[in-house]
Structure 1
Amino acid sequence: MMTSKERMMVALRRGKPDRMPVTIHQWQSYHLEKFMGGVDQLTAFQVVGLDASYLAGSVWREESADWRISQEDAGWQGNEKLTRYRVATPAGELTWVTGANEYTTYNVEHLIKSERDAEIFFRYWPRQHLDRARLAREYDRVGDAGIVRGFVDSYAQPGVWQEFCEMVGTQEAI
């Protein structure tokens, strides 16, 4: 019998594993807390018997004097807690507002409201780095329980179209 890692790697290479790998795209924090007793994603995969497709959180943004971010409470909208974010850059300020509930966080006011905002964002958005030591620890921890997946870190949502919609709003993007 194959390990989860072997099974998933064979399938990714278009081979024939001992059985179909079974996994999910990602665990949501709400689900892990509310229904799984607060376990982490690797433990959750093991508890329910899935092949682990572990999402590594090993990317970080460098600090930059040209991108100083702050946040403040912006009140409530129904059951949603609002938070206003401000980024100070040498070329001006960018702002956006998020709404959050127990399930998710989403944009209420988008970051990019003008061409000037886009120019500021692309000029001053801090570079990102891979924490190789953390990635190695996560890889070792997962072991034969599955695979470690990476992702392209982003402002809000990995993926070109999704990221654009998060930055300007879906209606504006269309």
Structure 2
Amino acid sequence: MKKLLFILLLLPTICFGQTKQDLFYLIDKFPVDKAGNIDFCIIDSVKNVSKESLHIRAIQAINCFFKDSPSPIMPVYNETNDMIIYRGRFGRYERAKKTFSSVLNTYVYRFTLKIEYEDNWYKIDFYDISESIENITTDLSELLNKDYYNKARLTSSSLKAKYNSILFIYNYLTTKTNSIGEYMRQTEKKTGK
């Protein structure tokens, strides 16, 4: 009987799963530069590829990898700086259980993507990343602030929601950064007989 009571007391912890240590481990995985800014960035070189070809690849990559993005803003080409800036967003839904019902939370994540290029090199950079739920917008740097989690008394469900948000952002940006990088590195197909 004591074992059954012990298991029932641990059940909420087992169900929610994420702890503050799990959250801190995930926060430590994020790429951060020396100034403490989020640094989802790739700088790479490509052989024998002109600036014009990289410009076309950058536009094609944005059209390919962000066609499902609900952002109505089209990429902006800045001719003097040789870059494309794209402001986009993506979302996720999470069902939160309440005492006698459940609520569907909608999270919207906004970002800015900048692709710079010159002959034989390019740079992909994600920045201005934020999360919005209802009418509250939070910058990613605030979500990754460990001091906040140490000072705040968050419930296990709040920790789970923060963990899920940070994990979702990390997976999305890692996948998109790598996909765009691969697209920019692709070699042009040679036609021959």
Q: TM-score with structure 2 length normalisation? A: 0.29
For the pair shown, the structure with the greater C-alpha radius of gyration is: 2
Greater percentage in helix = 2
